[in-house]
Amino acid sequence: MLIYKIFRRSEWDQFRTAGETAGAPIDLQDGYIHFSTAAQVAETAAKHFATESDLVLVAVNGEAIAADLKWEVSRGGALFPHLYRKLRLDDVVWDKSLPLGASGHIFPEGLL
């Protein structure tokens, strides 16, 4: 099962250069990297990145990182995947731009 992380372009560029990341400022503050499922990612984008257009959506195979992944209650009582280690570039299955359109972010076809 794929899980998703939204990065600002500058965060993504730093991640690609370094080969690993401890996440965005909110991840560093919370002590884990926040992910969303396909059913959760649009709401995550709207809630935390509503006016940001230069974003990158990253897909990661949840089973491949399962040893360090915890599913914890978060927004609305739903279980969200949280990664308790650095995310490595080789964990990434794919990345795609996540532009902001007139009515919200434009997700890759077939994701939502």
Per-residue pLDDT tens digits for 75-95: 889 999 999 999 999 999 999
- Are 70 and 82 in contact, with CB atoms under 8 Å apart? yes
Grouping H, G, I as helix, E, B as strand and the rest as coil, residue 13 is: helix
What global pTM score does this model have?
0.95
72: phi then psi, degrees, rounded to nearest 5: -125, 150
- pLDDT range class, residue 37, cuts 50, 70, 90: very high
Domains of the chain, with CATH numbers? 2-105 (3.20.170.20)
